[in-house]
C-alpha cells in the first residue's frame, strides 16, 4: 500500500524522472523536451503546504510511485478560484489505486480552500485518467480538438470539471 504525503525538496528528482517518461514516450503531456532539475524547479516552488496550490507524492516500497497536485488554471485574477489538477504515476505503478489515493488526499486538503472549480485537461486515448477523474466527481465539460501537436500528429484534449 502506498503512503501519501506532502512533496518535499528531496522528491524533485524522482518527480522529474516520472514526468520525463511521459514527455518522451506519450502525448499525455504536450511538453516536448524533457526537464532538468533546474528547469522544473520553478514549477515545484509554486506549491505550498496550504492554500489552493498543493503537491503530494505517494511512496511504495521506497519508490516514489506518483504525485498529484493542484495549480493555477490561468494567470488572470478572475481565475484564482479555479485550479487545474494533475496526477502522474511511475510507469510501473499503474492499476494499484495509487492515483485514487493521491487524489483522495489532495481533494481532502483542498476542501477548506477558496476553490470554486477544479479542472483537468486529458489528452485523448487516456481512459484510465478519465475514469479516475469521474470517480472524484469530475464531469465532461468540453473537447478541444487538435490543440496539441506531438509525435507528428494532432491531439484532442477532453476538459473535465468538478464543483468544489
Contacts of range 45-48, beta carbons closer than 8 Å, 24 or more positions apart? 46/71, 46/72, 47/7, 47/71
Cβ count near 132 (within 10 Å):
20
Confidence of residue 20 (pLDDT cuts 50, 70, 90): very high
Confidence of residue 142 (pLDDT cuts 50, 70, 90): very high
List domains and CATH numbers for the chain: 3-163 (3.40.630.30)
Asked if pLDDT for residue 53 goes beyond 90, the answer is yes
Asked if pLDDT for residue 134 goes beyond 90, the answer is yes
Q: What share of the chain in percent tops pLDDT 90? A: 98
Asked if pLDDT for residue 64 goes beyond 90, the answer is yes
**What pLDDT is recorded for position 119?**
98
Query: What does the block give as the cell for 135?
Result: 470517480
Asked if pLDDT for residue 1 goes beyond 90, the answer is no
pLDDT in tens, 74-129: 999 999 999 999 999 999 999 999 999 999 999 999 999 999 999 999 999 999 99
More confident call, 24 vs 61: 24
Burial class (CB in 10 A: 0-12, 13-18, 19+), 113: middle
- Rounded CA separation 103/133 (Å): 9
Q: Can you tell me whether residue 37 is helix, strand or coil?
A: helix
The predicted model gives 53-76 an average pLDDT of 96
- Rounded CA separation 99/96 (Å): 8
Give the N- to C-terminal CA distance of the chain in Å, as an integer. Answer: 28
**pLDDT, averaged across the chain:** 97
Amino acid at each position: 500500500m502506498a503512503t501519501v504525503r506532502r512533496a518535499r525538496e528531496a522528491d524533485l528528482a524522482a518527480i522529474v524522472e516520472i514526468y520525463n517518461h511521459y514527455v518522451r514516450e506519450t502525448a499525455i503531456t504536450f511538453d516536448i523536451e524533457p526537464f532538468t532539475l533546474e528547469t522544473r524547479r520553478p514549477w515545484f516552488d509554486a506549491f505550498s503546504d496550504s492554500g489552493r496550490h498543493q503537491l503530494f507524492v505517494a511512496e511504495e516500497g521506497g519508490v516514489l510511485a506518483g504525485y498529484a497536485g493542484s495549480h493555477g488554471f490561468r494567470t488572470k485574477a478572475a481565475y484564482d478560484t479555479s485550479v487545474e489538477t494533475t496526477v502522474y504515476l511511475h510507469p510501473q505503478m499503474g492499476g494499484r489505486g495509487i492515483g485514487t489515493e493521491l487524489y483522495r488526499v489532495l481533494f481532502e486538503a483542498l476542501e477548506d480552500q477558496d476553490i470554486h472549480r477544479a479542472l483537468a485537461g486529458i489528452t485523448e486515448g487516456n481512459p484510465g485518467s478519465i475514469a479516475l477523474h469521474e470517480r472524484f466527481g469530475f464531469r465532461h465539460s468540453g473537447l478541444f480538438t487538435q490543440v496539441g501537436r506531438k509525435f507528428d500528429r494532432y491531439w484532442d484534449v477532453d476538459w473535465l470539471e468538478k464543483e468544489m
